[in-house]
Structure 1
Amino acid sequence: MAESIELTVTGMKCGGCETNVKGKVGAIDGVLSVAASSKEKKVEVDYDAAKTNLDAIKAAIAEAGFTVE
């Protein structure tokens, strides 16, 4: 079942940061789409809840060097 989540993420300052987050989160099996905005400090993720979960998404954002509020 597909689910959507919008997270507030701090530390992103530019398009490179957005690309980094999209790459890390997008590499998770089950993630269908990722949109990141450094201006709005938001990351939106559509994912298959049968394959991944919110904890894995948050861990990937942290691995990219950013903080989920």
Structure 2
Amino acid sequence: MSESASLTVNGMKCGGCENTIVGKVSAIAGVVAVKASHQDKRVDVEFDPAQTDLDEIEDVITDAGFSVE
């Protein structure tokens, strides 16, 4: 069973930033879906908690140069 979360992400300024986050988060094992919006400063992610968790997802976003509130 998957879980969903909405994260507030600062530093996204354009569609390229959205694509970067979507690409990196999608590569995490267990991530089912991810959607990013720089206008809303939001990343919505659906994931399998048996394979990953929010800490790992947040770490990947931070490592990509963005900050998660």
TM-score range, shorter chain: over 0.9
Unpaired segments ≥5 residues, structure 1: none
**Which amino acid letter does the alignment assign opposite residue 13 of structure 2?**
K
Q: Which residue of 1 aligns with 2:31?
A: 31
Q: Which TM-score applies when normalising by structure 2?
A: 0.98
Q: Which runs of 4+ in 1 moved over 3 A?
A: none
Q: Percent identity?
A: 57
Q: Deviations over 1:16-55 (max 9, x none)?
A: 0000000111100000000000000000000000000010
CA RMSD of aligned residues (A): 0.5
Number of equivalenced pairs = 69
Structure 2: give runs of 5+ residues left out of the alignment: none
> Residue 36 of structure 2 aligns to a residue in which SS?
strand
The aligned counterpart of 2:63 is: 63
- Name the counterpart of 2:18: 18
Secondary structure of the equivalent of 1:57?
A: helix
> What TM-score do you get using the length of structure 1 for normalisation?
0.98
